[in-house]
């Protein structure tokens, strides 16, 4: 069983691959199609495509490039502009180079017949909120520029600025569906009078000429968020002592590191952890397997092989080449989410990323925190496993600075901030066909209101 840690916004990826003030970044086009990050085997078998190399289209967004090209659900994309796309990251890489107005040719299989679809890439719509402006801005990073967004309420005084740091996956934060938690969260914060700042990761959205997120180590990606923070501090009206950092999931690991460097007004984390990343990967497999009903004797047997394998790989990454050549390590590699076509591991990230992340001591980072902290755990947050780490970080902060940190339990809420039930109820329904549609209507506005109330006290 592979580890469940990716924020559910990317369980079904919308490939909407996106003017601003005196900027270098050009507006990118939008395909407007949904794909699985990794197409389930049963879907390929049903379409008799199990031996084909490409990407299966899950659905089409109306009034987009995909629709104008004639692309349809269950089409199987094999190449774009003559470049083969055997994996989803390959498709993202090709389309991310296209700008609005570029000509594009897709080669596809439809009902096992080869077809060519030709057309022009259409511009991607911008994110829009009622009673708010969205500034599409950018900042230089190494050999390129990265897109960032400053969302500002227009119908009331600004109470403060919330710098939101997203989870581990490589996906764009631009023009998300209006039922997406990463759209709904800023919407509610804006309505309460808070400005919201978000940066893309490298290579995502409009970002150009920078290394793709999936090829970065953790420390280099951290530098993206640090550089974005400096960009935020340069905006007129934004003051260092009125910024609140909100880290979700892996963003909750980045949040205290940013806070110790930039000294914000407060820090909020939801669905995060404080144990070493390597230990988390092991613990996640063990506990999630048991939660999902796998027999304990089987799990114990797996851990006897997985644990020494992970320890060896993290301590001696040069051994990876040998492990890849030896068939006996196939299960261990699969456990770490290894994808042979891309060479990437869990959450579509490099081994370097996971190793660098594991080298950070999060208890030490939390011990240094001097500002107020709100630590929130959702009852059905499977990736977070339990409330232990959330309570532990509160204890660490309060031991060093009594009364600075607060813990909040969020009933029946999953990792995606959706109110779907208890942990047992969530695990029972998470793999059912109708789960995504159900969860999409269950965003927990009460949780965000509690965040707003906490921010108002600072």
Q: What is the pTM assigned to this prediction?
A: 0.84
Q: For residue 14, name the pLDDT band (cuts at 50, 70, 90).
A: very low
Band (365; pLDDT cuts 50, 70, 90):
very high
The yes-or-no verdict on residue 353 having pLDDT over 60 is yes
Q: Examine the pLDDT at 357 and tell me if it is beyond 90.
A: yes
276-317 pLDDT, tens digit per residue, is 999 999 999 999 988 888 999 999 999 999 999 999 999 999
Residue 223, pLDDT > 60, answer: yes
Q: Which residue has the higher pLDDT, 19 or 419?
A: 419
Q: Residue 215 has what pLDDT? A: 94
pLDDT at 23 (0 to 100): 66
Of 91-100, 113-122, 394-403, which range is least confident?
91-100
Q: What is the dihedral of CA 199, 202, 204, 207, to 10 degrees?
A: 80
Domain range 29-123, CATH architecture: Roll (2.30)
pLDDT beyond 70 at 29: yes
For range 350-379, the mean pLDDT = 97
Span 132-275+360-456: which CATH code? 3.40.50.1820
Kindly tell me if the per-residue pLDDT of 98 is higher than 90: no
pLDDT at 157 (0 to 100): 94
- Distance CA(206)–CA(210), nearest Å, equals 11
Highest mean pLDDT among 198-207, 321-330, 352-361: 352-361
Q: What CA–CA distance (Å, rounded) separates 420 from 416?
A: 10
**Looking at the predicted structure, is the pLDDT value of residue 431 above 90?**
no
How much is the average pLDDT of 2-16? Answer: 41
Backbone angles phi, psi at 244, to 5 degrees: -115, 125
More confident residue, 41 or 417: 417
**Per-residue pLDDT, 19:** 34
Indicate if the pLDDT at residue 268 is higher than 80: yes
Domain ranges of the chain: 29-123, 132-275+360-456, 277-358
Averaged confidence pLDDT in the chain: 91
Q: What pLDDT was estimated at residue 80?
A: 95
**Which whole number is the average pLDDT over 366-375?**
97
What whole-number distance in Å separates Cα of residue 433 and Cα of residue 422?
A: 19
Interval 42-97: pLDDT, tens: 878 888 887 888 888 989 988 889 999 999 998 999 999 999 999 888 898 898 77
Q: What is the pLDDT of residue 436?
A: 87
Specify the pLDDT at position 10: 35
- 4 pLDDT exceeds 70? no
> What average pLDDT does this structure show over 408-418?
97
Res 8 pLDDT > 60:
no
Mean pLDDT for 415-425 is 95
Q: Which pLDDT tens digit goes with each residue over 182-211?
A: 999 999 999 999 999 999 999 998 898 678
């Amino acid at each position: 069983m592979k580890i469940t840690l990716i924020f559910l916004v990317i369980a079904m990826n919308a490939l909407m691959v996106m003017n601003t003030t005196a900027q270098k970044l050009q507006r990118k086009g939008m395909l407007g199609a949904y794909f699985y990050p990794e197409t389930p085997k049963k879907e390929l078998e049903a379409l008799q495509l199990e031996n084909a190399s490409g990407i299966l289209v899950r659905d089409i967004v109306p009034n987009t490039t995909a629709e104008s090209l004639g692309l349809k659900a269950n089409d199987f994309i094999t190449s774009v502009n003559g470049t083969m796309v055997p994996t989803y990251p390959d498709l993202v890489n090709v389309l991310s180079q296209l700008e609005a107005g570029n000509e594009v040719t897709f080669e596809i299989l439809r009902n096992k017949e080869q077809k060519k679809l030709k057309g022009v890439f259409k511009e991607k719509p911008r994110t829009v909120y009622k009673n708010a402006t969205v500034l599409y801005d950018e900042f230089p990073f190494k050999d390129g520029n990265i897109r960032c967004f400053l969302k500002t309420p227009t119908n009331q005084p600004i109470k403060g600025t919330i710098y939101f740091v997203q989870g581990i996956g490589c996906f764009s934060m631009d023009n998300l569906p209006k039922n997406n938690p990463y759209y709904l969260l800023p919407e509610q914060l804006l309505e309460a009078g808070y400005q919201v700042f978000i940066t893309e990761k490298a290579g995502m959205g409009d970002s150009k000429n920078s290394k793709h997120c999936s090829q970065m180590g953790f420390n280099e990606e951290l530098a993206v968020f640090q550089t974005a923070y400096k960009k935020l501090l340069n905006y007129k009206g934004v003051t260092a002592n009125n910024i609140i950092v909100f880290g979700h999931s892996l963003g909750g690991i980045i949040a205290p590191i940013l806070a110790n460097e930039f000294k914000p007004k407060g820090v909020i984390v939801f669905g995060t952890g404080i144990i070493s990343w390597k230990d988390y990967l092991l613990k996640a497999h063990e506990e999630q397997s048991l939660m999902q009903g796998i027999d304990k004797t089987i799990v114990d047997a797996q851990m006897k092989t997985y644990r020494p394998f992970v320890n060896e790989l993290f301590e001696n990454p040069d051994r990876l080449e040998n492990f890849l050549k030896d068939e006996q390590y196939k299960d261990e590699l699969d456990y770490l989410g290894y994808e042979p076509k891309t060479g990437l591991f869990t959450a579509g990230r490099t081994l370097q990323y996971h190793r660098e992340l594991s080298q950070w001591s999060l208890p030490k980072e939390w011990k240094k925190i001097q500002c107020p902290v709100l630590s929130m755990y959702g009852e059905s947050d499977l990736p977070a496993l339990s409330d232990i780490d959330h309570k532990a970080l509160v204890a660490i902060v309060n031991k060093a600075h009594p009364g600075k940190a607060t813990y909040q339990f969020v009933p029946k809420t999953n990792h995606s901030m959706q109110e779907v039930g208890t942990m047992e109820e969530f695990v029972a329904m998470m793999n059912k066909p109708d789960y995504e549609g159900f969860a999409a209507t269950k965003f927990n506005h009460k949780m965000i209101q509690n965040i707003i109330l906490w921010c108002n006290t600072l």
